[in-house]
Amino acid sequence: MKIAIIGANGQLGSDLVEVLSAEHKILALNHSDIEITDIDKIRNVLSSSKPDIILNTAAYHIVPEAEKFPGKAFQINGTGVLNLARVCADEKIKFLHYSTDYVFDGEKKSPYTEEDRPNPLNVYANTKLSGEYFALNYCDTSYVVRVSGIYGKVPCRAKGGNFVTTMLKLAKEKPEVRVVNDEILTPTPTFEIAKSTAELIKTDAFGLYHMSCEGEVSWYEFAKTIWDTLKLKTPLYPASVKDFPVVVKRPFYSVLENVNLKKIGIEKMPDWKGALINFLQTLK
């Protein structure tokens, strides 16, 4: 299969390239290669390269910035996905688009399934939800995959890192570190997402999927596992979301349950803690 990966040099994209290149021919596309807000440029790139499937990891995901520039966020997270879906439909290309746990408001307080009604609380989440609808409704051969708290070996280009790298940096630079213990989710390494994606695209089971590790954890407990595993000495303390200035509304609970993956026999997502420890061992 020939797979075009948009955002191939990013945090998730780089692991997709690594995992999928073992079995497939990869067309690695970065921002300099394709502009998803320009449908004509998309059409030119894809009609000449003719991939069997496109995996889209491109997103405007600096959440506070999206509040200041909602038009720009929608242009990339909404219109950009619409453009890709339209071209994929026209060119008979399968389409997989990655979305976010932030489409939920956190009020449920138990794991969200694909059947639960989204209620995004901020601009970023609203634009990502619009992208989901565009993908599913404009391309019949599309998958939408929601992920949660992702981290990988290659830093997120827009944010300059991820939670793990941020914690390691703070542990080196600060006299103490405080992390919120009242925001609950299931952080997931990008390598695990790439492995499950490899299984998903072997099927023609198009539709909406959750793809996160098993279990749930607060950011503080997650950080404590980093401290314990790497034997960090800097004091680590729990804090509340209320202790930090509120820049943008976020869900306090956004755990995902992978119901639809399990229905098609993909049950390979590990527990969050084991996945984190395995990831930390790759950093040594």
Buried b / exposed e over 107-121, threshold 16 CB at 10 Å, is ebeebbebebebebb
Active-site choice (98, 102, 112, 124): 124
Asked about 151 being catalytic, the answer comes back as no
Spatial contact of 96 and 143, defined as CB atoms under 8 Å apart: yes
Spatial contact of 52 and 2, defined as CB atoms under 8 Å apart: yes
The structure tokens 């998803």 sit at 36
Residues contacting residue 262 through CB under 8 Å, at least 6 positions apart = none
What stretches of 56-140 show up as alpha helix (H) in DSSP? 63-68, 70-74, 80-91, 123-138
| Structure token digits, residue 212 | 């996160």
The residues annotated with a catalytic role in the active site are 124
